[in-house]
Every structure is written in C-alpha cells, then in structure tokens.
Amino acid sequence: MESTRDAVIGVCRLNRDFLVIRRAASLRAGGKLCFPGGHVEAGECNESALRREIFEELGVDVVVGNKLAETWSLASVNLRLNWYSIDGIETDKLRPSRYEVSEVYWLSYNELLMHGDLLSSNRDFLISYRDLLDF
C-alpha cells in the first residue's frame, strides 16, 4: 500500500480578492489556475513547506496562519491537501518564477468559481469551505 503524501495550499485574501496563480505550461496541470502551494518534502512540517513553496513560486516570504481544512485529492488517491490562510504578501514584491508560474491574479470568490481553468480541487474547496474564507 502506498503511503500518504501531503501537499500544502496557501489561501491569501486582499480586500475581497484571492491570490491565485496560473501554473506554467511545463508543469502537471499546466495552464490551470490554483492557489499557490505544493508538496511537503521529507522532514518538513506543513508550515515550513508552505513558506518554501510560496517563496519558490512567488519570491516572497509569507506568514502562515490557521489551518482552514484538510481534504483528499481526487486526482491522487494518497495525497492529503492541507489548506492554510497566509498573510504578509505585498503585491508589488511578487516575483513569480517563470518555471512554475505563468501569471498571477487577484480574483473574487465568484470570479474564481466561474473561471473555467480553476483546478477542481480548488473549486471544491471554495464551495465546501466558504464559511471559513472571511478570515
């Protein structure tokens, strides 16, 4: 039996908009919109992994807030998704990695839900945990 792997996802709000990225075309699910984040490496805690992933993707340090939810990926049977609020992102300091991110957006809840390129796991999170998103 394959062991469980963990991924971390950062949910950042500025006013009423959420920070999302378009994944670089060369990545798995390339071209899709999603919240920033990635896999937890061996020996890392979730919070450290999330700070590392966001720094790699967007070139900024963040403050990891509360854990919002834990879900399971429909695309990978053994992938646990850990959703956290994140703070401290200054829009003018974002430096997206061209290897991981093709575009950065600030979109409202409704704009995200209606966007055809949003990853299904992100859409499911937004719908299921709407009450938590007014942090």
Q: What is the pLDDT along the chain (135 residues), one digit of tens a residue?
A: 568 899 999 999 999 999 999 999 888 888 999 999 999 999 999 999 999 999 999 999 999 999 999 999 877 768 999 999 999 898 999 999 999 999 999 999 999 999 999 999 999 999 999 988 875
Query: DSSP states of 101-119 as a string?
Result: EEEEEEEEHHHHHH-TTB-
Q: What are phi and psi of 54, to 5 degrees?
A: -70, -35
What's the pTM?
0.93
Q: How far apart are CA 90 and CA 57, in angstroms?
A: 14
Angle at the Cα of 73 (from 26 to 71), degrees rounded to 5? Answer: 130
Handedness of CA 49, 63, 81, 94 (dihedral sign): negative
For residue 9, what are its two tokens?
A: 């996802």
